[in-house]
Structure 1
């Protein structure tokens, strides 16, 4: 059973370095620590510094293609001190879900790669390659070698009664060449041929993060990611703090348009934030201030003034936008309605898409 927690408010302040406030970092990998085979610039050095401050570094990935051992070897090639136990994959979280429902030795059809085979065996299950083995479950995870035959076999087993588990629903994955289709697109291929939805283990669903917190013995974890709809939403779902970094899929525009369940506790350019305090935002009427910047909404556009660090300006902008879009509808009084005794029509709050951001983001140096 998951522990009852409450995530801190978005854009919270932290009066000490994040690496000393939180005992364990739960780091997403793709777009945060590495992109393809190469590390995000300076990320390994920042993580080594955080570890010296006493923060345990855990690596949490929705990508189920590789076993934890192989991921640890990849990370160690960057000069990081990483053991397989420091890595938790969505394949392990999915295998744990299957093991909770079926007895040891049960056959499970794999639509994916080595990461799923190893995880299933770790939990005492028997991975099989064909639906001819009458599997009790189908587990699907991303692997570049997944093909039509594997997808079709998964659909056949599900239609014959096997329970379907998916490691994650990410529609894309970051690669050195840009975005590429992720496991979510492959799940949709099977979904077109079956009448049920899968049980999902990976972010933003709770199982992966709950499994990670348990395995890494985290008391005060900090989820760190680049994706709002998986990393940040997942952290909010299990009630833990989150740090969004700008090294991967989503950008400042996406942040400004984020719904409530995808808003992070902290925002930063990258992992250097682990060694830093985090400023909060003060609100005075319509004005939202962070360090040297002040932002407000004027005629459905963000106006920002001041100077200083770009991400301080971004925090002020986000506070102004989120406050505006979250505001309750205001009644609009008209002379005609008042004369006839009618209730005034409500004036809806602006949507994030309707608020012009380009000028403000350009002003702080974060425009696309």
Structure 2
């Protein structure tokens, strides 16, 4: 893959780190990719943190990063607003200071009340967003001519204390009050990835993520190839059940897959597929897998099963994967994440 693409658009949580912990092999594989001539952008739906803060966290985890390497949904949202309103216009910011900075960087004027008659409302997660600021957003959005952009619509966020409301939950508050629907910048909508492509001047970018419903779907919507790594939340059953819009171009256990050539999985008939040294075949409605000498990087069996399962799903044919030995299809995962389940 490193010989085909020029820029890696890397998701963060589940790809580079999981919570406070680095993902095994991520830092050294990112460094190796750079030595091989690839450029790297770290692309995040998080709109509450400034790029410099994200870069500092990455450096603490052993990943070389500068603020210019980070692309956030706040920046993408501000770019969307800038394309819809007059330069210098007032924008009501319902979010964190990092979102205000992104608006300012686009030549717009952030404000905090509807009394300023804003041309747009931009909404992103901020831990200090409260009733008064949400109310100002509702007042402004009562004017149907005011543009409404949400940086992302993630309903929840993980915190040290547990799962908490995310920006999507607060967007739902304004949607309920106003009866309106915002333009969304973050994944799985394409604006964030397009912003990353524009900022990096990428000619052949590769989106790398761990989530089918944001990273891979976002790549498909943006018309970009994608690599799913099994170091985050995606399980094997979820991968095999993926619809056409959530199927990755490539599959790897972790970022070491960037160095590996991936054999294409070929569906030979509606009951048999092959990939490298592996094959998948139907025995009635059940899938059986055969893998010779480890199947390359250990994932050829899973690639063959996925190709066959997806093809049969698209044809409306039954495919029972409940009897598959998932542990045999996925190499041991040093990050202890969801793939082996």
TM-score by length of 1: 0.83
> Is residue 33–residue 43 contact of structure 1 (8 Å, CA) maintained in 2?
yes
> Is residue 225–residue 244 contact of structure 1 (8 Å, CA) maintained in 2?
yes
> Is residue 266–residue 307 contact of structure 2 (8 Å, CA) maintained in 1?
no
Structure 2 residue 261 is the aligned partner of structure 1 residue 273: no
Greater relative contact order (Cα < 8 A, sep 6+): 1
> Is residue 235–residue 340 contact of structure 2 (8 Å, CA) maintained in 1?
no
Alpha-carbon distance between aligned partners in 1 of 2:233 and 2:51, rounded to the nearest angstrom: 23
Q: Which residue number in structure 2 is paired with residue 31 of structure 1?
A: 14
> Is residue 84–residue 147 contact of structure 2 (8 Å, CA) maintained in 1?
no
Q: Which of these residues, 42, 50, 53, is aligned with residue 36 of structure 2?
A: 53
Structure 2 residue 60 is the aligned partner of structure 1 residue 77: yes
Q: Which residue number in structure 1 is paired with residue 317 of structure 2?
A: 349
Alpha-carbon distance between aligned partners in 2 of 1:219 and 1:179, rounded to the nearest angstrom: 38
Structure 2 residue 91 is the aligned partner of structure 1 residue 126: no
1:43-98 superposed Cα distances (whole Å, 9 cap, x missing partner): 11111111111110111111111122221222222233322221111111111111
Alpha-carbon distance between aligned partners in 1 of 2:157 and 2:221, rounded to the nearest angstrom: 22
> Is residue 224–residue 231 contact of structure 1 (8 Å, CA) maintained in 2?
yes
Alpha-carbon distance between aligned partners in 1 of 2:256 and 2:46, rounded to the nearest angstrom: 24
How far apart are residue 31 of structure 1 and its match?
A: 1.7
> Is residue 36–residue 176 contact of structure 1 (8 Å, CA) maintained in 2?
no
Structure 2 residue 221 is the aligned partner of structure 1 residue 237: yes
Q: Which residue number in structure 2 is paired with residue 262 of structure 1?
A: 246
Q: Which of these residues, 8, 11, 20, is aligned with residue 3 of structure 2?
A: 20
Alpha-carbon distance between aligned partners in 2 of 1:176 and 1:270, rounded to the nearest angstrom: 25
The secondary structure found in structure 1 opposite 2:12 is coil
Q: Which residue number in structure 2 is paired with residue 304 of structure 1?
A: 289
Q: Which of these residues, 170, 174, 177, is aligned with residue 186 of structure 1?
A: 170
Q: Which residue number in structure 2 is paired with residue 359 of structure 1?
A: 324
1:254-287 superposed Cα distances (whole Å, 9 cap, x missing partner): 1111110111100111111111111211333322
Greater shift, 355-364 or 102-111, is seen at 355-364
The secondary structure found in structure 1 opposite 2:2 is helix
Classify 1:355/1:60 alpha carbon distance in 2 versus 1 (closer, same or farther; 3 Å). same
Alpha-carbon distance between aligned partners in 2 of 1:287 and 1:175, rounded to the nearest angstrom: 44
Alpha-carbon distance between aligned partners in 1 of 2:238 and 2:73, rounded to the nearest angstrom: 25
Classify 1:36/1:306 alpha carbon distance in 2 versus 1 (closer, same or farther; 3 Å). closer
Q: Which residue number in structure 1 is paired with residue 234 of structure 2?
A: 250
Q: Which residue number in structure 2 is paired with residue 165 of structure 1?
A: 149
Q: Which residue number in structure 1 is paired with residue 336 of structure 2?
A: none
Classify 1:174/1:50 alpha carbon distance in 2 versus 1 (closer, same or farther; 3 Å). farther
RMSD (Å) for aligned C-alpha atoms: 2.1
Structure 2: segments with no counterpart, 5+ residues: 331-338
Greater shift, 194-203 or 164-173, is seen at 164-173
Classify 1:26/1:177 alpha carbon distance in 2 versus 1 (closer, same or farther; 3 Å). farther
The secondary structure found in structure 2 opposite 1:72 is helix
Classify 1:155/1:94 alpha carbon distance in 2 versus 1 (closer, same or farther; 3 Å). same
Alpha-carbon distance between aligned partners in 1 of 2:127 and 2:238, rounded to the nearest angstrom: 28
> Is residue 29–residue 255 contact of structure 2 (8 Å, CA) maintained in 1?
yes
Aligned residue-pair number: 328
TM-score by length of 2: 0.89
